[in-house]
Amino acid sequence: MDKGVLVLKKLIWRALIALLAVHYVFVASLKPVLSWLSLVLFFAAVVVIFFHWRKEKALGSGVAVRRLRAGAIILLLVLCNVLVELYAHENLVRGRTALVGATIITGELDAADIRDGTVLISDDGKIVALGQKESLAVPQGYDVVDVSGKFIMPGLINAHAHMWMEGGDPQKPVDFSSYAAPRIVRKLGMSAIMSYPGLRVVASRMERNVQSALYGGVTTLRGVGDLDFLDVQLRDQVARGERVGPNLLAAGKIIAITGGHAAEMGRVVDGPVEARKAVREGIHERIDHIKICATGGVADSLRIGEAGELQMTPEEMRAVVDEAHRRNILVTAHAESAAGVKEALVAGVDNIEHGAIFDDEAADLFLNNPNSLRGYTSLHPTLSTLAGGLIINDETENHPVISVMNHNAAMLKEQFYGGFEKALAHGILVGVGTDSGVVAHNKVWVELKLFVEHGGVSPARAIHMGTLATARSIGVQDVTGSIEVGKRADLLVLARDPRDDLSLISNAERIIVNGYHHMPRE
Ligand SMILES: [Zn+2]
């Protein structure tokens, strides 16, 4: 054989071996759980490679033997890679459980507590019986958990999350400095994230973020814009009990316009045909709902006023809504001005994210929206995003990027809070969505506190809003959101009454999701 071809073949073999080894180290370093077998095999492969190449140099053994050895090394490394994927999950278990003796807050508005209550949970994670201890005997075969003196409430639902980002404390001022990098650096950073290794890192961060949400008392987390449909993948892994996390709902990529808000991370469309196509693509990727950007936003604004400016056209929004509703899928719209809210409502979106101070005509459309899937539209005011105020000083005011973002954010804060108050006054369905990812995933209780402070609602009603009302808003009220026979066991066991201190919700002793028990403090 030609010597050049031989050298080329050798190079290809070596490149393949090197690639597999690097991939193993890279993937293994991201995994929370690693099997011993994969580690042992990997080191065996490294030893074989070392001696193989040393011997080859010394003796120059026959082509057939060399091929056999190289093949064996590749096989070993492939096996390592498969094993690391196979064993890197939690194998959560669930079984028949009886929680006995707690005060049960059902999540229904104005419902009386069940005192000294018992909840029976089946081995497929459903609530099968509920009642007072003395009238509800625990059948045989149930693990009894004594929760006397404690409180049980439905797990929180967060309707607005970006699982791929981490977010800061919503009670602290928003720091826009991370957005202040030069445009070229931001673009390079985004391409690095969207590359194969970048997305692997993002996927592992997403696992950490949704776990943080769970430990903050969230049992259902609705993503409204993540990268490359990684949210769909994680949703399925959590549902199979292979990952620790709340029940997830996935939007996949945000649908945005060229140069518009979230265009960098989303699916860019221009015109109704492309808009409809993007919905079809999302449905093909098995998303749960559609997210669009009706207006600009803060995080990528370059001019003062850009945040609420109209972006997607009414025709584009109509195409999205029509296609999604044909498939029984809800559409939610990022809308941060009165005009944007109105256009999105007219198009028939089912939820408004953020919102603005809208007029009475818009209020009527919220309550009775003929183009929406269910006849009404709800609001997720995301008060948490700007609750902690902004960092305003000489440095931020003189910075060309940060000053713009600060001005836009200040303008929006007024709109979000004003829209929230108006929605409550009109009896519009208001749900909890914190924009977690922008703010921390485990601080959803802060949104409830803001509802109490700015909406004048009682803590009990705020809990209802963060559970059953949000379930209705996102269309999962038949499966979760309250403690009710037939629904999923998505609930929190708390040491004290959360109505006395809403922050207790993020300190649950036991979090049950779909029947899987999680004990954050252990
Ligand atoms: Zn958002």
- Backbone φ and ψ for 110, nearest 5 degrees, come out as 60, 15
Distance 477 CA to ligand 1 centre (A): 22
Distance 161 CA to ligand 1 centre (A): 6
pLDDT digit string (tens) for 9-48? 888 888 888 888 888 888 887 776 677 888 888 888 888 7
Q: Identity (one letter) of the amino acid at 237? A: Q
> How many whole angstroms separate alpha carbon 421 and alpha carbon 433?
16
pLDDT digit string (tens) for 198-252? 998 999 899 999 999 999 999 999 999 999 999 999 999 999 888 899 999 999 9
Distance 300 CA to ligand 1 centre (A): 12
Distance 167 CA to ligand 1 centre (A): 11
Distance 31 CA to ligand 1 centre (A): 27
Question: What ranges in 31-115 are assigned the alpha helix state H?
Answer: 36-59, 63-87
Distance 507 CA to ligand 1 centre (A): 25
Distance 163 CA to ligand 1 centre (A): 10
- Name 168's bridge partners: 439
With a cut of 50, list the residues of the chain below it in pLDDT: none
> How many whole angstroms separate alpha carbon 444 and alpha carbon 157?
9
Distance 221 CA to ligand 1 centre (A): 13
pLDDT at residue 394, as a whole number: 86
- Name 106's bridge partners: none
Distance 431 CA to ligand 1 centre (A): 14
> How many whole angstroms separate alpha carbon 305 and alpha carbon 299?
13
Sign of the dihedral through C-alpha 276, 278, 279, 283: positive
pLDDT at residue 90, as a whole number: 65
Residue by residue, what is the 3-state secondary structure of 151-189?
Answer: EEEECEEEEEECCCCCCECCCCCECCHHHCCCHHHHHHH
Distance 435 CA to ligand 1 centre (A): 5
Distance 162 CA to ligand 1 centre (A): 6
Neighbours of ion ligand 1 (CB under 5 A): 435
pTM of the predicted model as reported, rounded to 2 decimal places:
0.90
Distance 271 CA to ligand 1 centre (A): 23
Distance 240 CA to ligand 1 centre (A): 27
Burial of 126 (0-12, 13-18, 19+ CB in 10 A): middle
How many C-alpha atoms does 429 have within 13 Å on its Cβ side?
Answer: 23
Distance 361 CA to ligand 1 centre (A): 26
Distance 436 CA to ligand 1 centre (A): 7
